[in-house]
Amino acid sequence: MIKISHLKKEYPSATPLRDVNVEIHKGDVISIIGPSGTGKSTLIRCINMLETPTAGEIWVDGECITDKKCNINKIRQKMGMVFQSFNLFNHMNVIENIMAAPVDLLGKSKQEAYDKGIELLRTVGLADKAFNYPDVLSGGQKQRVAIARTLAMEPEIILLDEPTSALDPTMVGEVQAVIKDLAKKGLTLMIVTHEMRFAREIANRVFYMDDGGVYEDGTPEQIFDNPQRERTIRFIKHLKVFEKLITSKDFDFIGFNTELEEFGRRNQVPQKTIYRGGSVFEELVMQCLLPNLEKEFHLNIAFEYAQGTETLSMSLKYDGAHFDVRNTPNIVSLAIAENASESIEYTEMDADGFTNLVSVKIK
Amino acid sequence: MTIEKILDGTRLTVAIAGRLDTTTAPQLEAELKQSYDGTEKLVLDFAALEYLSSAGLRVLLAAQKVMNKQGEMVIRNVNETINEIFEVTGFVDILTIE
Ligand SMILES: Nc1ncnc2c1ncn2[C@@H]1O[C@H](COP(=O)(O)OP(=O)(O)O)[C@@H](O)[C@H]1O
Ligand SMILES: [Mg+2]
């Protein structure tokens, strides 16, 4: 139904979409999740051409909508859009808001548009508000009207960009229930949301967006229970990360410790745990690795704290010859590090210029 | 790290507070080197020591060797975390911990 290939969107100061390649099938309900600023809104806005892509193609029902010759208004009618802010016309009552576009753009008679509008208001539970003006409605009611208005255009796909994030928490449920009904009816939906439970319940596919595109695409079970890629895992498990790249043997060790302690305080890492983390770092990196590395080196260190499971882990990546730090002749340092760890594992790797990987689970 | 020295005849007490690690161990090493002359009993007070790494252990080992020749060295007021370090590294058998 929609095919996106090599989509790129560049702004002067940011390139949220570098290379997006996905296919959306009829009846798909797709939750789009990811950290803020990763191009979720940009993707949605490119799909209905509210933004002009910098490069790449988007095909809708066999038509290339990124082609200049394409009649974009005709395509837009196939796509409904629901925004965070409801964008209702305040000078029109509810039913007039819903009737306007079908009459103006689809050429429906007023009667036809009215009948359909009342029916839609019934499906979102607001038939009794047809003659009220938007300003007397609650946020949740406004958003349900906005959804009914979108449905009145009989779209084939509905794009929803954080439809509940401007709502008072007490109203999130009613709007989510309406969206769930749409999903059950077999409409094709793409929903940007940061409500993870909702994202999981409603969708048959989840796009995790990060690093310039759809970073991981899978079923809700795959993405939420068994994410495969590094950033997805971090996001899903709510990992707090403290990361540093070290390229000099006389880097600021004191400053590093201060920052590590601050990281621990900020994220409620038990003091004993952060103490052990610092100890493993000093023994493995300062005592065993740094003296062994070549003059020019890159060493990436990341501490990750999973607040859910209260576990701290440390990963070290470094370049140069393969060297398993556990083979260090410095047995005193190794003994201290091992005592502070559940496990220390080593793997030879070859990615991003790094050749060695040490993964430590701190006790 | 802060180091405080109290000399009582041939008995020297050195109280160490804070972190004894890769960066601070050389300071302690230098401080001790100046103090061996005439010392027959060296007491290291760890009551305020918060952190100890292998770099610190190495300085302690060197001090122990010197003191073996000219008297004795004892370590006092070791907390649980630091004692764990002495145990897992086998230093409990080399040092005198009171
Ligand atoms: N109209 C715009 N002009 C310039 N930069 C923009 C514009 N829209 C979005 N951006 C930038 O693109 C990035 C992604 O934005 P957005 O798609 O809104 O992310 P998300 O919805 O995932 O939070 C951000 O860095 C943002 O500043
Ligand atoms: Mg957004």
- pLDDT reading at A85 higher than 90: no
Q: Do A339 and B51 touch (CB under 8 A)?
A: no
Of A61, A62, A96, A97, give the one whose Cα is nearest residue A79. A61
Q: Which bin fits A353, alpha (ψ -120 to 50), beta or left (φ > 0)?
A: left
Task: Indicate which atom in ligand 1 lies nearest the CA of residue A35.
Answer: 22
Q: Is the beta carbon of A220 within 6 A of some atom in ligand 1? A: no
CATH topology of domain A2-231: Rossmann fold (3.40.50)
- Angle at which helices A139-152 and A94-105 pack, to 10 degrees? 20
Whether chain B has a CB inside 8 Å of the CB on A251: the answer is no
For residue B42, the domain's CATH number is 3.30.750.24
Q: Under CATH, which number does the domain A237-362 receive?
A: 3.30.565.10
Q: Is the beta carbon of A213 within 6 A of some atom in ligand 1? A: no
* Predicted local confidence at residue A351, as pLDDT: 77
Global confidence as pTM: 0.62
Q: Do A332 and B89 touch (CB under 8 A)?
A: yes
What domain range is B38 assigned to? 2-89
* Predicted local confidence at residue A72, as pLDDT: 86
- pLDDT reading at A167 higher than 90: no
B97 within some domain:
no
ipTM surpassing 0.85, yes or no? yes
B95 within some domain:
no
- pLDDT reading at A169 higher than 80: no
* Structure confidence at residue A241 as a pLDDT band (50, 70, 90): confident
The CA distance from A215 to A235, in Å, is 12
The tens digit of pLDDT for each residue in A252-270 reads 999 999 999 999 998 888 9
The CA distance from A181 to A177, in Å, is 6
* Predicted local confidence at residue A135, as pLDDT: 95
* Predicted local confidence at residue A84, as pLDDT: 86
- pLDDT reading at A308 higher than 70: no
- pLDDT reading at A309 higher than 80: no
Q: What percent of chain A has pLDDT over 70?
A: 99
For chain A, the average pLDDT equals: 93
Mean of the pLDDT values across residues A280-291?
96
Q: What residues of A are in contact with residue B21 (Cβ under 8 Å)? A: 253, 257, 282
B79 within some domain:
yes
Of A170, A181, A176, A84, give the one whose Cα is nearest residue A123. A181
Q: Taking CA atoms, what residue in B is nearest to A285?
A: B22
Task: Indicate which atom in ligand 1 lies nearest the CA of residue A42.
Answer: 17
Select the more confidently predicted residue: A269 or A21: A21
**DSSP 8-state class, residue A294:** -
The CA distance from A253 to A270, in Å, is 21
The CA distance from B83 to A66, in Å, is 69
Mean of the pLDDT values across residues A109-117?
97
- Which ligand sits nearest to residue A160's alpha carbon? 2
* Predicted local confidence at residue A262, as pLDDT: 94
The CA distance from B57 to A270, in Å, is 25
The distance of A7 to chain B (nearest Cα, Å) reads 50
* Structure confidence at residue A79 as a pLDDT band (50, 70, 90): very high
Between strands A205-210 and A29-33, the pairing is parallel
Whether chain A has a CB inside 8 Å of the CB on B2: the answer is no
* Structure confidence at residue A196 as a pLDDT band (50, 70, 90): confident
Mean of the pLDDT values across residues B67-78?
97
The tens digit of pLDDT for each residue in A153-162 reads 999 999 999 9
* Predicted local confidence at residue A70, as pLDDT: 87
Structural domain count of chain B: 1
Cβ–Cβ contacts within 10 Å for residue B73, how many? 22
* Structure confidence at residue A77 as a pLDDT band (50, 70, 90): confident
* Predicted local confidence at residue A239, as pLDDT: 77
Mean of the pLDDT values across residues A341-346?
96
Residue B47, C-beta contacts closer than 8 angstroms, at least 6 positions apart: B15, B76, B77
Select the more confidently predicted residue: A255 or A237: A255
Q: Is the beta carbon of A193 within 6 A of some atom in ligand 1? A: no
For chain A, what are the domain ranges? 2-231, 237-362
* Predicted local confidence at residue A166, as pLDDT: 81
Cβ–Cβ contacts within 10 Å for residue A352, how many? 9
The tens digit of pLDDT for each residue in A40-63 reads 999 999 999 999 999 999 999 999
- pLDDT reading at A100 higher than 80: yes
Q: What residues of A are in contact with residue B55 (Cβ under 8 Å)? A: 282, 286-287
Whether chain B has a CB inside 8 Å of the CB on A274: the answer is no
Residue A224 tokens read as 């939420």
Label residue A348 exposed, middle or buried (CB < 10 Å: 0-12, 13-18, 19+): exposed
Select the more confidently predicted residue: A235 or B74: B74
* Predicted local confidence at residue A310, as pLDDT: 80
The CA distance from B56 to B23, in Å, is 9
CA A292 to chain CA mean position, Å = 40
Residue A54 tokens read as 């910098």
Mean of the pLDDT values across residues B82-95?
96
